[in-house]
Amino acid sequence: MRLLLVEDDAPLREAVRGALVAEGWVVDACADGDEALWLGTEEPFDAAVLDLGLPRRDGISVLQAWREAGRNFPVLVLTARNRWNDKLAGFGAGADDYLTKPFEIDEVVLRLKALIRRASGHASSVIRVGALELDTLANRFRVDGRGLALTAGEYRLLAFLAHHAGRTVPRNELAEHLYDRDFDLDSNVIDVQIGRIRKKLAPHKLLHTDRGLGFRLAEA
């Protein structure tokens, strides 16, 4: 998944960013409201972590502008403001969850996982597609009840398709959400990973190529 992290406290930003990257997510980080507004409006994200007390433009106005621009990715607000009126303003602007400082970074990770999963239409922490299941809390795949050995890149790709199971995901969407912005769209990395995952899922035919359209994870 690709996340946007907006936090002006540099040590806290790097600590949160490190935890998110350790989960296998691609993270774009910034420190002020103007850059946050531009990134959230122009770039594709699966979720955002947004501080409210930002320089140049406050987090509430950034969030309102995102929603007015039709950007519907889930947003977790991080803030030192713990008054009810502040929380009400955050949810009123379009926040999906709210966490006050100080907080445990592991809780940020757990809440983001839940937000992303629910945004994809999955209520349970375990996503199942035929004989394949993804435990989103443990970051682990099983097929026929046995652990599935995947590289970090294969895991990210299969997890994204699992969150969007049944839908054909275009190649450019995979590139935008799973790799850094300088990723070469003409690279064959995605095709190689798809081929390797397909072999590891055999004999189950769960990973399909819809020619000219993209890739789809679904029962045959």
Q: What is the mean pLDDT of each run of 10 residues along the chain (220 residues)?
A: 94 95 93 96 94 91 95 91 77 89 91 92 91 94 95 93 95 85 71 94 94 90
What are the CB-based long-range contacts (under 8 Å, 24+) for 181-187?
181/28, 181/43
Chosen domain end from 81, 99, 119: 119
Q: Are residues 179 and 201 in the same domain?
A: yes
Q: Are residues 133 and 57 in the same domain?
A: no
Measured distance CA(79)–CA(7) in Å, rounded:
9
Q: Are residues 182 and 110 in the same domain?
A: no
Cβ pair 52, 79 in contact under 8 A: yes
Q: Are residues 6 and 114 in the same domain?
A: yes
Q: Are residues 25 and 79 in the same domain?
A: yes
Beta bridge partners, 119, equal none
Chosen domain end from 119, 147, 178: 119
List the Cα angle 195/177/182 in 5-degree steps: 90
Name the domain count of the chain.
2
Chosen domain end from 119, 141, 166: 119
Q: Are residues 94 and 146 in the same domain?
A: no
CATH label of the domain that carries residue 156: 1.10.10.10
- Residue 125 in tokens: 């922490």
CATH label of the domain that carries residue 45: 3.40.50.2300
* Residue among 88, 86, 15, 98 nearest 50 (CA): 98
What are the CB-based long-range contacts (under 8 Å, 24+) for 217-220?
217/129, 217/132, 217/158, 217/161, 217/162, 217/164, 217/165, 217/166, 218/129, 218/130, 218/165, 218/166, 219/129, 219/130, 220/130
Q: Are residues 176 and 105 in the same domain?
A: no
Q: Are residues 193 and 136 in the same domain?
A: yes
Domain of residue 63, residue span? 2-119
